[in-house]
Amino acid sequence: MSNLKETLYKELELKIITGVDGISFDPHIFKHLDLGGRFQEEVHCLFEGDHETHVGIQFPAGFYSPHGLTYVLKWDRRSPYSFIYESGTYYLAHQGKVIFPIEFIERPAYYGQKTSDGTSMSNLALYTQDGALLVAYSNECALKDQDHDCKFCNINATKDTYGEIEGIGWKYPNQIGETVAAAYRNGARHVTITGGFVAERREVEYYLDVADSIKEHTGLDDFNGTAVIGAPHDLNIIDKYKEAGYRTIASNIEIWDRNIFKAICPGKELQCGGWEHWVKALEYEVEVFGKGKVRSNIVAGIEPKDSTLEGIEYLASKGVICFATSWNPNPGSALEGHRTPEPAWHFDLYKKIAAIHRKYGFTYEELYDCNAAPITVIHDIYRIEDQTLPVFKGQVA
């Protein structure tokens, strides 16, 4: 068993490396793949995560390592890691030397369905694996109107780049309700509702309408939904999300150091009450939803590691599950062209975050319920340590 765990941690380390450095390939390599048929295609939900844009060229959503870890695909032609296709099999390679064979993620059944108004469900709810859905109701952020975008974010650039060709646009409550119901009939069990910055009153009214639609179409009062919101000026508004039926709530503080926060997140500083108000909002969300039912996120690599860990420890002590995502200098963001820390820096951070979550008693189920994608490195560490991955049941590739 110790050998298996060691192997899994090596695959996890490689997952971080390829997430940071990307993978190089000729896009034509996927001509052998039934992409959009058997295999799940990448949908530009909120952000372009690849290191360069690829308008009109379809990529897979991700792939599996031999022992069952899910890798998110990030394209970077400068990377020493690459894909190789030989005799009907795809391989991950380093400097031309094969590391292991891979399997791409299969497409969920609901991706092939349409709503009653004819909209493709694959454009409405992204399948983020293991029964989780991500609905981005708006693929743009109003903070751009006053040049207050978060400096690491490329949500508006993604909409400008892919919006017309991929049909990215506003999503309506009835469309979301129908799509979530279809996905739930096929085994999905959690949905996150998120989007760009909108006016506070408009946001809460929209989220309430979405909750009503999901409950109507699924028949579930508790549909295991996460509402991702900005810190409202009136904290009592948070109660409305609980009353509407959301099980969990999330407000992403992004940066813990309050001075760096001001520089990197000017809109959240100037239009949402500032760093102190974001912290107060998270603490109040715990009062309303309970310990382990509130999530936040820090973009890891913009501020010192100690600052990020300080924030995660503080928030954990208040009952908030705070994740950290490796900063990806996204194309179209103000920080495009900068560099994130080396993969080892991120791996060390993730292991320390998982230890903090364990220390404060957060369970895997709580991590699952409050996060948009249950395939983060933190999720993986939990599943390796708890031996809950399928490979521990003898399903070895």
3 state SS of 291: coil
Q: Which of 49, 71, 104 is where one domain is finished?
A: 104
Contact 69, 11 (CB under 8 A): yes
Given a cut of 80, whether residue 397 has pLDDT beyond it is no
pLDDT band at 144 (very low <50, low <70, confident <90, very high): confident
Going by DSSP bridges, is the β-strand pair 225-228/248-250 parallel, antiparallel, or unpaired?
parallel
Q: Domain containing 215 — which CATH number?
A: 3.20.20.70
Question: What is the C-alpha separation between 282 and 168, in angstroms, rounded?
Answer: 30
pLDDT for 395: 57
- Residue range 149-172: average pLDDT? 91
Given a cut of 90, whether residue 166 has pLDDT beyond it is no
Same domain, 100 and 152: no
Same domain, 142 and 10: no
Same domain, 258 and 372: yes
What would the pLDDT profile of 187-209 be if each residue is shown by its tens digit?
999 999 999 887 667 889 999 99
Average pLDDT, the chain: 95
- Residue range 135-163: average pLDDT? 90
What would the pLDDT profile of 39-70 be if each residue is shown by its tens digit?
999 999 889 999 999 999 999 999 999 999 99
Q: Which of 89, 104, 119 is where one domain is finished?
A: 104
- In single-letter form, the type of residue at position 74 comes to K
Domain total of the chain: 2
Contact 23, 76 (CB under 8 A): yes
Residue range of the domain that includes 174: 109-393
Same domain, 27 and 133: no
Q: Which of 104, 120, 140 is where one domain is finished?
A: 104
In this structure, what DSSP letter does residue 319 have? T
**Among the listed residues 322, 313, 312, 301, the one whose alpha carbon sits nearest the alpha carbon of residue 370:** 322
Cβ-based neighbours of 357, under 8 Å, separated by 6 or more: 316, 321, 367, 378, 382
Angle CA 23–26–27, to nearest 5: 95
Same domain, 332 and 293: yes
Same domain, 97 and 135: no
Question: What is the C-alpha separation between 110 and 133, in angstroms, rounded?
Answer: 11
Burial category of 170 from C-beta neighbours within 10 Å (exposed 0-12, middle 13-18, buried 19 and up):
exposed
- Residue range 71-81: average pLDDT? 97
Same domain, 98 and 117: no
Same domain, 51 and 127: no
Greatest alpha-carbon span in the chain: 60
Inter-CA distances, 147 with 137, 157, 270, 271, Å: 22, 13, 11, 12
Question: What is the C-alpha separation between 160 and 212, in angstroms, rounded?
Answer: 31
Same domain, 203 and 168: yes
What would the pLDDT profile of 234-252 be if each residue is shown by its tens digit?
999 999 999 999 999 999 9
Question: What is the C-alpha separation between 100 and 91, in angstroms, rounded?
Answer: 6
Same domain, 209 and 303: yes
**Whether the model pTM is above 0.75:** yes
3 state SS of 102: strand
3 state SS of 295: strand
Same domain, 82 and 130: no
Same domain, 59 and 149: no
What would the pLDDT profile of 379-389 be if each residue is shown by its tens digit?
999 999 999 99
What is the residue-wise DSSP string for 106-144? BPPGGGG-B-TTS-BGGGT-EE-STTEEEEES-SS-GGG
What would the pLDDT profile of 100-115 be if each residue is shown by its tens digit?
999 999 999 999 999 9
